[in-house]
Structure 1
Amino acid sequence: MTFSIVGRCRETGQLGIAISSSSIAVGARCPWARAGVGAVATQNVTLPALGPRILDLLEHERTGPDAALERALSESEWSEYRQVTVVDSQGRTAMFTGKEALGVHHAVAGDQCVAAGNLLADRHVIDAMVKAFEQTQGALADRLIAAMHAAVEAGGEAGPVHSAALEIVDTPIWPIVDLRVDWADDDPIARLDALWQAYRPQMHDYVVRALNPTAAPSYGVPGDE
């Protein structure tokens, strides 16, 4: 039903998530990231509250990813239905897959990343994601999307995928990338990639506009001089 990857860029410190699902609007429920703190993917009969709870524990109680994940899960009655992955601001990782995870499921930690999925065509889908993330050069978003493409090429989910999302945080407290394909009859990951390619050249400008409007590039609309 879902496969995802959370990761950190060693050079920039950016944190992010790429995720896809057979369900509608996966980006509204499953990816959670906080600048300077961490990134969490919560999936498989999703409890969205786990994302912000784990991030709160990482930020305010200064627990490591394993301890934050364990504590958050201990507070939920239905933890065996969850699959959760975490990467923190130092690149440390944690993961959990409950006994009630759907279908073929797997989770693998790599170098500053964790990939996980359920209702997979094959467990090797997750191995392929980690390998692609580690071997791809460039921006964190490029590496996360490369992992998603690798998942599809390795077989992806057992059924059709309909939604996908990409979220990246950097220095500002808001996400610098928050792109979603909420429903597509075919290949939402390719559509997400196309959104990223369109957004990439504008990403920095939107940050500049927010922090210092007088230094912002032209908006490119009638009346803007």
Structure 2
Amino acid sequence: MTFSIVARCAQTGRFGVAISSSSPAVAARCAWVRAGVGAVSTQNVTNPALGPLMLDRMEAGAGAPEAVAGARDADGFPDYRQLLAVDALGRTAVHSGARALGIWTSAQGRDCAAGGNMLAHAGVPAAMVAAFEGAGGVLGDRLIAALRAGIAEGGEAGPVHSAGLLIADRESWPYAELRIDWIDDACPVAAVARAWEVYKPQADDYVTRALNPVSAPSYGVPGDA
């Protein structure tokens, strides 16, 4: 019921996840990032506890393959889980359990891995990886390009209703966390892409406001001097 990509920017060290699903609030349950550590997705019949578990293992020194294997082995129902991870060295790993739903597959590329279940066809993750590797711009741009490619390739077998973009930079909080938790009659991927278009020019300013409000630019709201 989900397709996603986890990725690292080799130039900035940022990590991100882009994800969409027919289920509500997919990014709230499935997408996880940690500055300096990695990005992971835990999807299909989701166990959200596996997201922090994989990041904890990578923070302790495990690579993405070991983190995914550890989460798989720690879970009581690994056949139902689909796990994706990328670590601080750009290594990737994927686990897709034998009881993943519908058409399920994955693809791994340079600093990225994509996977999905209940897919329109098996080529969706490979199209996402190709789009990510071929796109220009910052990490958020490349993740959006991958998510758009997934939709263009058919995405899920049925309509999607939620989507999200989650990025970690250097701080303990997300650099960007943009979510469409439910939308009935429009494309959530297009909505998240539009949200990123609006947020992207302000993203660095929000970090400055948190770390040093004295140096922050104008808030751009009525009454702000």
TM over 0.5: yes
The alignment's TM-score, normalised by the length of structure 2, stands at 0.98
Q: 2:213 corresponds to which residue?
A: 213
Q: 1:64 corresponds to which residue?
A: 63
Q: Is the 8 A contact 2:168 2:174 kept in 1?
A: yes
CA distance in 1, matches of 2:95, 2:179: 25
CA distance in 2, matches of 1:220, 1:69: 43
User: RMSD of the TM alignment (CA)?
Assistant: 0.8
Q: Does 1:122 find its partner at 2:106? A: no
- Cα deviation, residue 141, structure 1: 0.6
The alignment's TM-score, normalised by the length of structure 1, stands at 0.98
How is 1:71-150 mapped onto 2 (pairs within 5 angstroms)? Answer: 71-150=70-149
Q: 2:45 corresponds to which residue?
A: 45
Give SS of 1:71's match. helix
- Cα deviation, residue 127, structure 1: 1.0
The percentage of aligned residue pairs carrying the same residue is 56
- Cα deviation, residue 221, structure 1: 2.9
Q: 1:184 corresponds to which residue?
A: 183
Q: 2:13 corresponds to which residue?
A: 13
Q: Is the 8 A contact 2:72 2:95 kept in 1?
A: no
Matched to 1:58, the amino acid is M
Matched to 1:153, the amino acid is A
Structure 2: stretches of 5+ with no match in the other structure? none
Q: Does 1:36 find its partner at 2:29? A: no
Q: Number of aligned residue pairs: give it.
A: 224
Q: 2:150 corresponds to which residue?
A: 151
CA distance in 2, matches of 1:207, 1:182: 24
Give SS of 1:29's match. helix
CA distance in 2, matches of 1:106, 1:56: 26
- Cα deviation, residue 46, structure 1: 0.3
- Cα deviation, residue 223, structure 1: 3.9
